[in-house]
Amino acid sequence: MRTVYLNGEYIPENEANVSIFDRGFLFADGVYEVTTVVDGKLIGFDGHIERLQRSLNELQMNHKVDREEMLQIHRELVTRNNIDQGMIYLQITRGNPGDRDFAFPPADTPITIVMFTQEKQVVGTSVETKGLKVVSVDDLRWGRRDIKTVQLLYPSLAKMEAKARGADDAWMVQDGFVTEGTSNNAYIVKNGKIITRNLSNDILHGITRKSVLECARLLQMEVEERPFTLDEAYGADEAFATSASGFTNPIVEIDGNKVGSGAPGPVGDKLRGLYLEENRKAAL
Ligand code: PMP
């Protein structure tokens, strides 16, 4: 049984209880982060903590994240649960006002903070060699996708639609342009150039995206940050997706069309290699 963290305490998972009045439960009024663990160490920790603080600020949640305290809790959970590869999930909600009301509770209402580990192979997976198939779906999410909220019902529906259509994931499309995957940022490669949607409120500002684009520049690859169409994606030489736990994952098919040769491409492969090398060196 896992040891989880709830509001200052390390407890067995079956003893961790949150109120039925919690704003996270009633209003999806919460934010989250997922930090990947490789060799028992945290990948991209500071990026996740900075984005967490930004999400809280954007939702006017009155909580100052203490980096040192968070680092210590992350490490303690890794140790107590003996995690070599996997993830640490962290969620903060606006807490328990003791009743249901659309208006926010008083600013001094304690937040709810939950953290737990997930054990999962993240390095050397079969996806690296086989790639993923995606289908396109309309992007029906709200307009502040830059805030990492726990409102994940639409991405969850999109994922189920993808599976029903024989694919692994969905790429969401708005006004003819790809926004992102259900839980990853989307990229295509054409004539050696990497194209990925520019940062705005339309997509999550991926921690992996930032690091992978830095790797691309180190490798002197050309990067264009702009929206791309589905047709461009169908005609791309290569496609891939980035996320904290997937690093860069090759996309080999979009809506039944083979991308390039239909096998994982060299640009994504190279980026994955350098990303892992750099981030393992910097892991905490
Ligand atoms: N977009 C969405 C919608 C996501 O849910 C995620 C993963 N949380 C990402 C992109 C990738 O972000 P990151 O690299 O920080 O995991």
Note the pLDDT tens digit of each residue in 160-206. 999 999 999 999 999 999 999 999 999 999 999 999 999 999 999 99
Percent of the chain with pLDDT over 90: 100
Q: What is the mean pLDDT of residues 22-50?
A: 98
Same domain, 161 and 177: yes
Question: Which residue, 71, 101, 119, sits at the end of a domain?
Answer: 119
- Residue 170 CB less than 6 A away from ligand 1: no
Mapped onto helix, strand or coil, the DSSP state of residue 75 is: helix
Alpha carbon 117 to its chain's center: 15
Residue 154: HSE in the Cβ half-sphere, 13 Å Cα cutoff: 15
Instruction: Tell me, yes or no, whether 92 and 154 share the same domain.
Output: no
Question: Is 148 annotated as catalytic?
Answer: yes
Pair (278, 140) in one structural domain? yes
Q: Which is nearest to 258 in space by CA: 125, 126, 134?
A: 134
CA distance 175 to 160: 22
Residue in 243, 272, 275 to alter for ligand 1 test, most ligand atoms within 8 A of Cβ:
243
Q: In the listed set 119, 141, 169, which residue is the last one of a domain according to the structure? A: 119
Question: What residues contact 52, with CB distance under 8 A and at least 6 apart?
Answer: 31, 33, 65, 90, 92, 148
Q: Where are the beta strands (DSSP E) in the chain?
A: 3-6, 9-12, 30-38, 41-42, 86-93, 112-119, 132-138, 169-174, 177-181, 185-190, 193-196, 222-225, 238-243, 247-254, 257-258
Reading phi first (left if > 0) and then psi (alpha if -120 to 50, else beta), residue 95 is in left
Q: Band of the pLDDT at 48, cuts 50, 70, 90?
A: very high
Question: Considering 119, 150, 183, which residue would you say is the last residue of a domain?
Answer: 119
Q: What separation in Å is there between the alpha carbon of 34 and the centre of ligand 1?
A: 9
The reported pLDDT for the residue numbered 189 is 98
Shared-domain flag, residues 103 and 219:
no
- Show the domain range for 256: 127-282
Instruction: Collect all residues with Cβ–Cβ distance below 8 Å to 4 and sequence separation of at least 6.
Output: 10, 11, 12, 13, 16, 77, 114, 115, 116, 117
Instruction: Report pLDDT digits (tens) over 198-217.
Output: 999 999 999 999 999 999 99
Q: How confident is the model at residue 5 (pLDDT cuts 50, 70, 90)?
A: very high
Place of tokens 């390039």: 260
- Per-residue pLDDT of 216-263, as tens digits, reads 999 999 999 999 999 999 999 999 999 999 999 999 999 999 999 999
User: Are residues 135 and 109 part of one domain?
Assistant: no
HEC profile of 36-47: EEECCEECCHHH
pLDDT of residue 155: 98
Amino acid in the structure at residue 131: G
pLDDT value at residue 81: 98
Q: What is the pLDDT of residues 99-143, one digit of tens each?
A: 999 999 999 999 999 999 999 999 999 999 999 999 999 999 999
Atom nearest to 51 CA in ligand 1: 15
**Residue 22: what pLDDT?**
98
* Nearest residue (CA) to ligand 1, atom 7: 183
Report the distance separating Cα 85 and Cα 35, nearest Å. Answer: 11
**Residues 252, 227: Cα–Cα separation, whole Å:** 20
Helix axis angle, 207-218 to 45-58, nearest 10°: 130
Query: What is the model's pTM?
Result: 0.97
Pocket test residue of 91, 156, 183, 207 for ligand 1, highest count of atoms within 8 A of CB? 183
**Does residue 169 sit in the same domain as residue 55?**
no
Cα–Cα dist 121/245, whole Å = 9
**Options 41, 133, 148, 159, the catalytic residue:** 148
Q: What is the pLDDT of residue 26?
A: 98
Cα–Cα dist 66/30, whole Å:
18
Number of domains in the chain: 2
CATH number for 111:
3.30.470.10
